[in-house]
Structures are given as C-alpha cells and as structure tokens.
Amino acid sequence: MTGYFSDIAPLRFDPESDGLAFRHYDADRIVMGKPLKDHLRFAVAYWHSFVWDGSDPFGGGTFDRPWFPADSMELAKQRADNAFDMFQVLGAPYFCFHDHDVRPEGDSLTENHRRLNEIADVFEHKMEDTGVGLLWGTANLFTHRRFMSGAATNPDPDVFAWCASTVRACMDVTHRLNGENYVLWGGREGYETLLNTDLGQELDHMGRFLSMVVEYKHKIGFKGQILIEPKPQEPSKHQYDYDVATVYGFLKRFGLENEVRVNIEQGHAILAGHSFEHEIALAQTLGIFGSIDMNRNDYQSGWDTDQFPNNVPEVALAYYEILKGGGLTQGGTNFDAKLRRQSLDADDLIAGHAGAMDVCARGFEAAAKMLADDALEQPRRERYAGWTNDAAQQMLKSDLASIAERAEADDLNPQPKSGRQEKLENIVNRYV
Ligand code: XLS
Ligand code: NI
Ligand code: NI
C-alpha cells in the first residue's frame, strides 16, 4: 500500500533549496553545547494534521484524506501509519495526541479504553521502529456532547466519574509510551452564564480532580510533568484556567504548585491580552514553566486560529525567556497548528511544519546569541544595579518606619533615569 506521503522524500537541511527542505533548521547543529533538535524538541499535534477535516462553523470538510472518516479501527490504523510516515518526512522527534484523535468512539467506557490500548500497541511498535517519542498525551473531554457542561466541573457527578476513568486510561497509555508530559487543557472547564453556574463548587471539583491526577501519577510512578494549558475563552465564555497568573493562584490554593506546571500556547497568551514572552517569563519566575504550544492566532479576528508560527522576532523573544530560565528540559515545542482549509495537499502539511521549524530555529538561534552576548542582560543588570549595594539590601530586611526615617534624614531626591526602550528594541533587531 502506498502512503499519503510516499511521494515526499525526507526533508534535508539545504539553505539553497527552493523546494521542500529546511533552510534554517539544521537539527544537528550545536548551539550552547547541544544539537538544535535537543533544544527545540519539536512535536506534531495528531489532531490538527490527521483528524481535522477542514470544516469551520460555516462549512464542512475540505480535506480528502485516504483514512477519513477513521470511524473504524482499520482506518484509525491507516491514519497512524500515515502519521508516522509524516513524522519521518519531517524528522520530528515527538508527537502529541488526545484519546479521541487516535481511536473511534466506542459505545462504552471499556470499549473506548480497549480501542485506545489497541492503538497504543500500534504506536509502541512504530515508536520503537522510528525513534519518535511521545511529548505528551491528553484526554479529549470537550468534543462529545456529554461534556457540553464541563468535564470535572460538570454539574452531573456521573460525568466527573466518566472523566476520572478516561483520564486514568490516558495517563496509563501515556506512561506506557514513555510520554514526557501529561497535559490537561480545560476544554469546557468554564461557564457561559452565572445564572446556571455554581462557580465555587465547580472550582472545588476542578481542584479535587487535579489533586487526584497528581496522586495517580505518583501511584503509577509516572515521571512526566503534569501540565495545565491556560486559555482565557473559547469554547466557554469564561475559562477557569484564564492565564498563567490565574493557574498559579489555583495551584497555590490546592497546594499543587510544586506538582503541576503549565503548557503555554502562544495563541492563548494573545487571547488573554498578553504577549507569549510575558506568559513564559511569569511561569519561569513562579517556577511552573513546563512546555509550549507554538502556534499563533490571527491578530485581527480574535479567534484561536491555530496557525503555524511565521514571525521570527516574536519567536525569538519567546525562546529568549525559555533559554534564560534554563531551556525546555522535559518540555518541547508542540505545533498545535493546522493548515488553512484551502491548503488541501499532502505537501501543504509538510510545508506548514517545515516552515514553522525553520522559523523556530531562526528565532532560537537569535535568542541564544543575544543571551551569549549579554546584549539584554547587561543593560538590565545596570538598571537594577542600585539594589546590589548593602544599604539597599538591608532595607528589604528593615521596616517601613526605619526606612522612612532614613529617607527623610538623607533628604532623598531620586532622579528618573531613561528606560531606554527604543535602544533595547534596536539591539533586538540586530539579532533577528
Ligand atoms: C485548544 C488547545 C488544545 C490543547 C490540547 O485550544 O490548544 O488543542 O493543546 O487539548
Ligand atoms: Ni489552542
Ligand atoms: Ni494547545
């Protein structure tokens, strides 16, 4: 059987190429002591590339894939064959999936789990043969109508129980496939109207559910990170995991701040009114940075359009904050990105990912260079230099009245200094 991608040769690094190749991403190039591929840790999202059919709120599918509709196990396996072919064309080291992406929905929980495990057997072999790893697994607790009023926050306790069973099965499979992380994106954990919502009770249930996930992780000896993916809205009007700051408050409240980290998506940061680098820097500062979904939104539409990244300066600032905090470690760069619905062909899928990998490589290398040159850290240190002297440090251990007395005795009259933003922006522009 010939595969959907069999006409496309594995991509090579060729800066001069005008066909399908990497012009910037040289996987084995050593940067800051290790190969780029080990820094960037790219992952392909199963759902957007192999499940989504191009439909939008106004029209049905536009893509014609040989494994569609994948409503039988046979077609689901054909989908898996083609997915692994694509990972190899791209040289992608990782992939990510939801249960719902990889197996058709059964008519019971146990049938769902049986099918999931049957596909996991297929994955296990393919991962062994190809060396492709699982960056993260997750459960889809938002597509089926049973989740319309939430998953762990559903008013119906049977839905809570359904979710417990599904998440357990997905964690087991992620563990079996040596997944490096397990993600919980709060799909429909939020609400449409307060008129029918007990907000306090829903948050309590969500906290309890997450605590159970963490307990289960330790029980089975799963070494991956548990990650929450914040998003402010869509599908629900008010999502509980609004942004990094909100998630941190939630984790603190349930005593989970040392157990759970965040998977930050560029597009979700924008929806929350933040820049990607802000969300990353905040998570690093709070000690909860885990991984990234590297996909942008359309800046005008206000929707989560999940487009491949194509803006080097933006990507550079994101990787800059990641590198400053010590890199991706167990996390990775997941392209939670889909084609535009008019991009019908197999090579569109390859081009979308290849271009994204090139953009990330360029941004990453710029970030590494800025860091190595101390280009931004030196002026930043200078700006806070006053705090390095003893008197300033003593003040932090002192009290309001003592500080006040000293300030008044010295007749302080601080003079403003320039923040030099334009100069700093000019420095960044030399690198990107
Ligand atoms: C949706 C989310 C989702 C998560 C995985 O907006 O980005 O795709 O990454 O459930
Ligand atoms: Ni998203
Ligand atoms: Ni995502």
Q: What does DSSP assign to residue 36?
A: H
How many helices (H) does the chain have, and how many strands (E)?
Answer: 16, 12
DSSP secondary structure string, 92-120?
--EEEEEHHHHS---SSHHHHHHHHHHHH
To the query of whether residue 100 is one of the catalytic residues in this protein, the response is no
Structure-model confidence comparison of residues 165 and 302, the more confident one: 165
Q: What phi and psi values does residue 286 have, to the nearest 5 degrees?
A: -85, -5
C-beta neighbour count of 406 within 10 angstroms? 14
pLDDT at 269: 98
Binned at pLDDT 50, 70 and 90, residue 203 comes out as very high
CA distance 271 to 187: 15
- Please give the structure tokens belonging to residue 208: 């309890």
CA distances from 386 to 381, 392, 393, 412 (A): 9, 7, 10, 14
Which pLDDT score, from 0 to 100, does residue 248 have? 99
**Rounded Cα distance, 324 and 316, in Å:** 12
Q: Taking a C-beta distance cutoff of 8 angstroms, is the pair 189, 183 a contact?
A: no
Structure tokens at 301: 């539409």
Answer whether residue 1 shows pLDDT above 70: no
- Angle among Cα 80, 137, 295 to the nearest 5 degrees reads 85
Say which ligand is closest to the CA of 306: 2
| H/E stretch holding 360 | helix 346-372
pLDDT at 301 over 90: no
Q: What is the mean pLDDT of residues 327-354?
A: 98
Give pLDDT, residue 190: 98
Burial track 81-97 (b if 16+ CB lie within 10 A, e otherwise): bbbbbbbbbbbbbbbbb
Neighbouring-strand partners of residue 96 = 45, 136
Tell me how far CA of residue 233 lies from CA of 3, 190, 230, 275, 376, in angstroms: 38, 8, 9, 16, 34
Q: Which of 26, 85, 99, 101 is catalytic?
A: 101
Crossing angle of helices 346-372/312-324, nearest 10°?
A: 50
Catalytic-role residue among 24, 98, 268, 278? 98
User: 43 is written with which tokens?
Assistant: 């992952």
Q: Which ligand is nearest to the CA of 96?
A: 1
- Binned at pLDDT 50, 70 and 90, residue 205 comes out as very high
pLDDT for residue 302 = 85
Angle between helices 73-90 and 109-130 (to 10 degrees): 30
**Annotation marks residue 125 as catalytic:** no
Closest-lying ligand 1 atom to the alpha carbon of residue 295: 7
What lies within 8 Å, CB to CB, of 355 at 6+ separation is: 308, 310
Asked whether residue 173 carries a pLDDT value surpassing 60, the answer given is yes
Cα of 47 from ligand 3 centre, angstroms: 10
Tokens 């194509």 belong to: 310
CA separation for the pair 44, 33 (Å, rounded): 25
Smallest-distance ligand from the CA of 235: 1
Region 199-225 average pLDDT:
98
From the alpha carbon of 185, which atom of ligand 1 is closest? 10
The minimum-distance atom of ligand 1 relative to the CA of 304 is 6
Question: Which protein residue's CA is at the shortest distance from atom 10 of ligand 1?
Answer: 185
Find the residues whose C-beta lies inside 6 A of ligand 1.
Answer: 98, 138, 183, 185, 229, 231, 265, 293, 304, 336
What pTM was computed for the model? Answer: 0.97
Average pLDDT over all residues of the chain: 97
Quick one: 423 exposed, middle or buried, by C-beta within 10 A (0-12, 13-18, 19+)?
exposed
Q: For residue range 390-424, what is the model confidence (pLDDT) as tens digits?
A: 999 999 999 999 999 999 999 999 999 999 999 99
The string of pLDDT tens digits covering residues 62-98 is 999 999 999 999 999 999 999 999 999 999 999 999 9
CA dihedral 337, 338, 343, 349 (to 10 degrees): 70
Residues near 146 by beta carbon (within 8 Å), at least 6 away in sequence: 159, 162
Domains of the chain: 30-372 (3.20.20.150), 390-431 (no CATH)
Q: What is the mean pLDDT of residues 18-46?
A: 97
